[in-house]
Structure 1
Amino acid sequence: MRCLYFASIENYQSHSKLSKTEKKFLRKQTKARHTLLRHEGIESVSHATESLVIANGGLGNGVSRTQLLNIFERYGSVEALLMPPNKPYSFVRYRTKEESQKAYVALNGKEMVDDLGQNITLYLNFVEKVHWGDLRPSVLPPGLMIMEEIVSPEVEKILLESIDWTHNLVDENGLPDICNSILEKWLTEGHIKYIPDQLTINQYEPGQGIPPHIDTHSAFEDEIISLSLGAEIVMDFKHPDGHTVSVMLPQRSLLVMTGESRYLWTHGITPRKFDVIQASEGQKSGIITNDVGNLTLNKRGVRTSFTFRKVRRTPCDCSYHLVCDSQRCHQNETLPSFPENDKKASELEREYVHRVYEEIAEHFSSTRHTPWPQIVAFLKALPKGSVVADIGCGNGKYLGLSKDIYMVGCDRSQNLVEICGERQFEAFVCDALAVPIRSETCDACISIAVIHHFATAERRLATLQELARLLRPGGKALIYVWAMEQEYNKQKSKYLRESRDTKEKKEHLNSVVIPGTSSHNSVCSIPAINDLKDGDYNTNGVSNSKLPVHTNRTSFHSQDVLVPWHLKKDSRRDKGSEPLKPIPDLVGPHDPSTVFHRYYHVFCEGELEAACRMVNNISIEQSYYDQGNWCVIFKKL
């Protein structure tokens, strides 16, 4: 691209002989300048200075320090290159204004290839003030230790070669002998306090990660240790007050979490192909500082983690009671139990589905605005003039998709139905178990994210039968329910444990519901082992009848769960009814949200199909997985 330099932006804008290409560049440069000012507070100036801000050229969008230095040092003496962590911009400061102007003219609008192999265009502006960012000193979270070179390259090779990825279920033979010998050595040397009895092995390709989480207090003892093999990685730790510490875990290093770092701080790995690390040599492990003058990118390799834990056999009595599930269970006896009969199921649904949606309707609606493509395709494929019922329509996001079909919606939530009315959609309040529409009058029905809110298999079957009743012969129903096998990661995973665990304890860790049964204690094959991540294993909910509270953005480990909804402040409709008592959010004193819990029964693979086969006079046309849901289309015969 041919670039011009003008002493001021105003002169550039008033120039009457700009080419079409140059005008396009000017628009994009102006947009970049406004974006930096609006979102980052970075103000550019119209006159030349020694310092430039480089939009589109930062650690946050895959550009390394070496790349920028190689480019900008061609035009003068670079005194400083400042690259804020996780930001898509950088600052470069030259010794003189003349050198800065030279780079401005030569590089503005220039394309370069980032470390991901993608083409990006640099947009430069002069700045007087350089933003250094937050440089407050950081320390490792209390109780966190990292030991480098804890095993030799030879032992690393043996450990990696010992993994049999073809068997992903619990290994009845216990931990490998080589692991036992290593653990004994670490115990003798004082690196760990006791011998673990459970091991999770995960393999992460570049771009994969772990959602932030705290290992469940009641499931495992205080000490959790993780051995990093094959490649280094940066793990992020976050305190409830929002303070984040990024920690480098070198290849063949051991991470030990105890006390506050284990019980209070979340830990996770951001899914990306590059990590931000210190550019200077000498720091292998520990904190990644926010020194913007000493950060660069490091390409990730394939990392395999051996994470060891010891199963807890008594309630947790840690000092972090606000985030401890053992102690919160004693303090909060209002959390429901699994329903023993239809009456109890109805009561559970009323309190933990119906009333919750009335409370969160406005906020819920604000998050539900984009129709899913396969549902849109189903509706648009219907013949012109079709009559369609959306059972559990929510805020009505599917009701106005096509003018060629007539759609009517219904929902159990009065507040959600009112939102439909405000949008000029036809909708009414009713229960999906008893829809006041005449039999065989609908050409199609959809039920999106509804049936998983019913608390017994019998009640879920009854909703399917109700959908079939509404359809005319030849009519079709599309059903979506949450899947147990939600794909948060696709890294390899293997779970092992000592064989001395009792059969009861194994069922406690691995039980899910058999399709077609109403008991939450029945055991079927384990569907989600492949998706296990460091720290995601939750053993709540089987040894007693209390429903476990699911941790958002992690794999499911029980089919019947309470899923938190974080209600933003001032987003609740006031209808005069007695409000539910929200549970205070535990993520920190500065978070203005409260938490409500919705009941879900998440479906195993094949479970929805099995339930549909119990409905008379229908045939299953299609079943598939879509965006964390199991989906079925059936036809009325």
Structure 2
Amino acid sequence: MLTFCISSLPCPPPHASIAMDSNSQSNYKLSKTEKKFLRKQIKARHTLLRHEGIETVSYATQSLVVANGGLGNGVSRNQLLPVLEKYGLVDALLMPPHKPYSFVRYRTAEEAKKAYVTLNGKEIVDDLGQKILLYLNFVEKAQWKELGLQALPPGLMVVEEIISSEDEKMLLESINWTEDIDNQNVQKYLKHRRVKHFGYEFHYENNNVDKDMPLPGGLPGICDSFLEKWLKEGFIKHKPDQLTVNQYEPGHGIPAHIDTHSAFEDEIVSLSLGSEIVMDFKHPDGVTVPVMLPRRSLLVMTGESRYLWMHGITPRKFDTVQASKGLQSGIITSDVGDLTLSKRGMRTSFTFRKVRQTPCNCSYPLVCDSQMKETPPSFPESAREASQLEQDYVHRVYEEIAEHFSSTRHTPWPRVVEFLKSLPCGSLVADVGCGNGKYLGVNKELYMIGCDRSQKLVDICRERCFQALVCDALAVPLCSGSCDACISIAVIHHFSTAERRVAALQELVRLLRPGGQALVYVWAMEQEYNKKKSKYLRENRISQGKEEGTSSDTAMPELLVEQVPNVGSRDSECCVSSVTDLPEGGHKARTVTNAKLPVHTNRTSFPSQDLLVPWHHQGNPGEGKPGHPAGAHDPGPVFHRYYHVFCEGELEATCQTLNSVSILQSYYDQGNWCVILQKV
């Protein structure tokens, strides 16, 4: 229940024109508390305008925007509406999904004015006991960035009330969460949830099972009658032989993933018990569909929803759901007049699968591990192999994706801009690995020249009237000592041996005059999803020509390709190099032989320092392919790029091996390790 704190702030001062005229305002002296409130209200108004495009007005209207009173910060419709109704007849309460604000429209402007004067600056307490301070401003009309009406992913079905409440209780009581004395199944305690496996153990590191190691005992007998019924009713075509039971603590979830194609047959079904939940389904073209899974419902994934869409549960204490009932199962509409919050409870899921004994022959070969023609490459063991790896998994890829890549790389990285603007007017600067040239024009007082290995990216630079040429970063055709400064943004990490990375840095130093500086950015191993440290792992969308605040290769389009099984193991060791020892003064490195490069899984920590990162090339809308509706974006081919992600201290250690160089500054910036070098 929503309540007001006794110690709430006083009514807002008459700072707005609706309260008193300007002469009266000039004679009114604000208290310290009122001044603090006024600053926060102005800040809230500016934040809404800057980030959401919501323009407030200084005169009374029928409509108000309520900052801090939205679904995005834990305020539900049932909490907010009764409070607003105390001050007049509410025509509409619009609560956009995942936004920390809402809109209320009163029958008259006088009623809205009464709410404005009384509620503005008041503290309320939500169901979790958290204090929330409301800031109200008048608006001419409600406006927000709308989400389009979405349908369930093809092949997905939600069947409500698939079992009775008595059956639910029986199933929940059948799971003994104490240790299994007879070792009939595998029980594990993962972070924030308990897991039991029956039939086969499900391996979370590769979303697969070991088909040669079935667990004794099979599936619990209590499940037989339910499975037979689902077979008869056509929800499944094969009787499952693998079961994973997950018990989730309230507020927690699972990372987005696709169950490995070759591991299981088409249908995967999951029974939700104990509490409802919203599961997010994500298509490679960036579309995300939130799907409501009611208590005692059965989720059935087949076809496209099974093989192409990732599914996961976002960790949070509340889900955005429909306030009214009787809507189509699973659909959460974009009707902001009918959305509220549902507090999560303890949920137990029974997920049934049938282990596949033959290769997968689905209609999605580009993301199917059984049908992928390309074998993941091995780690290079010679300079020749390293050069070939970079040709196949760096140079060729950027040539293929140049146009799409450029469409997502248009906003300069702020600290790179800061470096360029700090240089003296008239400085000659080389951007080695310039991409589409987004840094070549940020400071008109500099003479900048760009170079890149990709002819198509250089062509884009020239179309923008920048000076650019095609060359290798190991051999830049400029005179030694000719540059006042150089930048290398997200380039060095594409070289596949320690020697080649050192050589690329030495080439930058060669170009500099004595006293000249170079700025270098490389990807960091220490990125953590859901933390402010990392923009790359935190991004949750495919860029479609719009991307804010990204460097030339940071925070890339969403990587919605599952990890290829058996291409490498997770390596928690963070090493300075992956091939050989650095020259004298460097760090000791490990040796890798005959190792397959792992493919990175989106929104997870990096499994090793050397890996392949997928780029899902966006196709054209409206082409319509089998299993993919007309009008949707063709997911297009998947390309894999080689990366060596740097550990903390590794970039500095590598730079210290260079001749005639001092390190002026080193820092971490949004998922990158960065240094500024000076030639001495």
* 8 Å Cα contact 1:264-1:323 kept in structure 2: no
2:578 is matched with which residue: 504, 507, 515?
515
Shift of 1:434: 0.5
Asked if residue 597 in structure 1 is aligned to residue 639 in structure 2, the reply is: yes
Percent identity (aligned): 45
* 8 Å Cα contact 1:229-1:251 kept in structure 2: yes
**TM-score, scaled to structure 1:** 0.61
Q: Which residue of 2 aligns with 1:627?
A: 670
Partner-residue secondary structure (3-state), 2:522: strand
**TM-score, scaled to structure 2:** 0.58
- 1:5-24 deviation digits (Å, cap 9, x = unpaired): 99xxxx96997657479999
Partner-residue secondary structure (3-state), 2:639: strand
* 8 Å Cα contact 2:429-2:486 kept in structure 1: yes
- Mean alpha-carbon deviation: is it higher for 380-389 or for 452-461? 380-389
* 8 Å Cα contact 1:5-1:105 kept in structure 2: no
Q: Structure 2 matches for 1:183-202, cutoff 5 A?
A: 183-185=219-221, 188-191=224-227, 193-196=239-242
Shift of 1:433: 1.3
Q: Which residue of 1 aligns with 2:476?
A: 435
Q: Distance in 2 between matches of 1:254 and 1:104?
A: 44
Amino acid of the structure 2 residue aligned with 1:329: M
Shift of 1:479: 3.9
1:142 is matched with which residue: 135, 156, 159?
156
1:393 is matched with which residue: 434, 441, 444?
434
Shift of 1:307: 7.6
* 8 Å Cα contact 2:524-2:648 kept in structure 1: no
Q: Which residue of 2 aligns with 1:355?
A: 399
Q: Which residue of 2 aligns with 1:537?
A: none
2:615 is matched with which residue: 538, 546, 564?
564
Q: Which residue of 2 aligns with 1:64?
A: 76
Amino acid of the structure 1 residue aligned with 2:476: V
1:410 is matched with which residue: 448, 451, 459?
451
Q: Say if 1:302 and 1:210 are closer, same or farther in 2 by CA, change over 3 A.
A: farther
Q: Which residue of 2 aligns with 1:496?
A: none
Q: Distance in 2 between matches of 1:136 and 1:398?
A: 38
Asked if residue 152 in structure 1 is aligned to residue 172 in structure 2, the reply is: yes
Partner-residue secondary structure (3-state), 2:306: helix
Shift of 1:601: 2.3
Partner-residue secondary structure (3-state), 1:188: helix
Partner-residue secondary structure (3-state), 1:341: helix
- 1:302-345 deviation digits (Å, cap 9, x = unpaired): 98989887776643123x43665257636xx7x99668836644
Shift of 1:450: 0.9
Q: Distance in 2 between matches of 1:393 and 1:128?
A: 43
Shift of 1:515: 0.7
* 8 Å Cα contact 2:652-2:666 kept in structure 1: no
Partner-residue secondary structure (3-state), 1:72: helix
Q: Distance in 2 between matches of 1:157 and 1:410?
A: 61
Q: Say if 1:3 and 1:408 are closer, same or farther in 2 by CA, change over 3 A.
A: same
Q: Which residue of 2 aligns with 1:329?
A: 372
Amino acid of the structure 1 residue aligned with 2:278: V
Q: Distance in 2 between matches of 1:365 and 1:612?
A: 28
* 8 Å Cα contact 2:270-2:300 kept in structure 1: yes
Shift of 1:74: 1.8
Q: Distance in 2 between matches of 1:229 and 1:607?
A: 48
* 8 Å Cα contact 1:140-1:245 kept in structure 2: no
- 1:552-595 deviation digits (Å, cap 9, x = unpaired): 5555568443532646879xxxxxxxxxxxx9997973338866
Shift of 1:65: 1.7
* 8 Å Cα contact 1:278-1:295 kept in structure 2: yes
Question: Which segments of 5 or more consecutive residues in structure 2 lack a partner in the other structure?
Answer: 1-10, 27-34, 180-185, 203-214, 228-235, 533-563, 581-589
1:276 is matched with which residue: 320, 327, 342?
320
Q: Distance in 1 between matches of 2:245 and 2:433?
A: 39
Amino acid of the structure 2 residue aligned with 1:627: Q
Q: Which residue of 2 aligns with 1:498?
A: none
- 1:351-409 deviation digits (Å, cap 9, x = unpaired): 5245246544742442x423347x957x7999999986542233555567789998765
Amino acid of the structure 2 residue aligned with 1:184: P
Partner-residue secondary structure (3-state), 1:152: helix
Q: Which residue of 1 aligns with 2:544?
A: none
Q: Which residue of 2 aligns with 1:163?
A: 189
Partner-residue secondary structure (3-state), 1:447: strand
Partner-residue secondary structure (3-state), 1:434: coil
2:133 is matched with which residue: 93, 97, 119?
119
- 1:222-281 deviation digits (Å, cap 9, x = unpaired): 455678899864212357899865334579998664445322444234465532135579
Q: Structure 2 matches for 1:84-99, cutoff 5 A?
A: 84-86=96-98, 90=102, 97=108
Q: Distance in 2 between matches of 1:125 and 1:381?
A: 42
How many pairs align?
A: 562
* 8 Å Cα contact 2:522-2:673 kept in structure 1: yes
* 8 Å Cα contact 1:229-1:304 kept in structure 2: yes
Q: Distance in 1 between matches of 2:151 and 2:468?
A: 56
Asked if residue 466 in structure 1 is aligned to residue 507 in structure 2, the reply is: yes
Q: Say if 1:487 and 1:133 are closer, same or farther in 2 by CA, change over 3 A.
A: closer
* 8 Å Cα contact 1:274-1:297 kept in structure 2: yes
Partner-residue secondary structure (3-state), 1:63: coil
Amino acid of the structure 2 residue aligned with 1:510: S
* 8 Å Cα contact 2:399-2:455 kept in structure 1: no
Partner-residue secondary structure (3-state), 2:189: coil
Asked if residue 73 in structure 1 is aligned to residue 85 in structure 2, the reply is: yes
* 8 Å Cα contact 2:272-2:350 kept in structure 1: yes
Partner-residue secondary structure (3-state), 1:67: helix
Structure having greater relative contact order (Cα 8 Å, sep ≥ 6): 1
Q: Which residue of 2 aligns with 1:481?
A: 522
Q: Distance in 2 between matches of 1:403 and 1:128?
A: 41
